Amino acid sequence: MAEKGAHLTSSVLTRPSIFELIAQESLAKTVHPAVKKLCEVLAESNPGKYGFLVRWFEELYLVAEFLLQRQYLRTKGSSFSEAFYGLQRTVSHSTDSKLPRRKLLLSLICLSVLPYLRRKLENLAVKYKLEEADGIPEKKNYPKGTRSFVITLHSIFHAVWESLVLMQYFMYMSGKSLYHSPLLRIIGISLIYTDQESEGIPWSSLKNCVTSRDFRSLPGVTFQLLRGVLSNSFEIFAFFLQFLQVWYSEHRQASVTALPIPSTPQDLGVNDYKNICPLCLQKRKIPTVLPVSGYIFCYRCIAEYVRENHSCPITHYPASDEDFVRIY
């Protein structure tokens, strides 16, 4: 009976809460849009020099994320976001920080390759939905029905996956599963609190090396120092991204409501242009409103204009493609 009680106590102490697990997943999802926004800003400042960052962003991000996650999995036994919250991956309750080679490879695929494929499918489905709504015919070199198949596949995949995630959350919270994620359940890896002190920045080792004048170990200590600084810099940057996301969302809502109500331009009669796009002067296709001004356009018209000019074409208020609201 005492052995059973000790086992349960150990499991409770090493079992992260569902809130911590969801928080680390949220952090992992924050990095991608933040880095993408940074690349877009660089490309807008100098399209000739940094334009490739936007054109090949997903592929470049895949390589960078693969290398980053590989480093964290090999050194800390966890992904970047899991290490930030003091979690580590384990197989069958093993506390060994080093994952087996096969588990490490499966973790890398789940952390970098699968999210890349999912984003590609989502972007393709959105593109095809807009083409269908705009009445653009399918490409002749594609098999007939490809567009509808991709849209249906994405919808089914999204619904099934979100259902599995929710079900796994409930199973984890009720104690019926060791895994909070369907992917972790498939590859047989659970998350626990790390039982090791964080390596941190080895200032004490460097101090001991200098005071004892034993410079033979200086290269190794220097390497550990650089690695510790880099690791801590990544984690500080991750915290900054989360703070920036919350601040930007609140500031953006406040800035939109603080804008003055635009006056109707003299050369645009509202009654004469009912259901007409102010840009192409044709009947609106995929009606899309720009909240900063309240005017409604064709999606394609306003998307092209805003991405080029970063403002409303009528009021000239600052705007971005994240401001678009589809009208159904």
- The per-residue pLDDT for 236 is 55
Q: What is d(CA 262, CA 318) in angstroms, rounded to the nearest whole number?
A: 13
- The per-residue pLDDT for 211 is 57
- Nearest Cα to Cα of residue 189 among 100, 115, 113: 100
- The per-residue pLDDT for 127 is 80
For 117-144, letters b (16+ CB in 10 Å) and e give eeeeeeeebeebbbbeeeeeeeeeeeee
- The per-residue pLDDT for 165 is 92
- CA atoms lying within 13 Å on the CB side of residue 323: 25
- For the chain of 328 residues, list the mean pLDDT of each consecutive stretch of 10: 42 71 85 84 78 87 92 88 86 68 92 92 84 71 81 91 92 88 91 64 49 53 54 54 52 47 50 72 84 83 81 79 76
- The per-residue pLDDT for 225 is 53
For 52-63, letters b (16+ CB in 10 Å) and e give ebeeebeeebbe
User: DSSP secondary structure string, 282-328?
Assistant: SB-SSEEE-TTT--EEEHHHHHHHHHHHSB-TTT--B--GGG-EE--
Pairing of β 296-298 and β 190-193: unpaired
- The per-residue pLDDT for 115 is 93
Q: What is d(CA 54, CA 248) in angstroms, rounded to the nearest whole number?
A: 22
Which tokens is 98 given? 């080093």
- The per-residue pLDDT for 292 is 78
The 8-class DSSP code of residue 276 comes to B
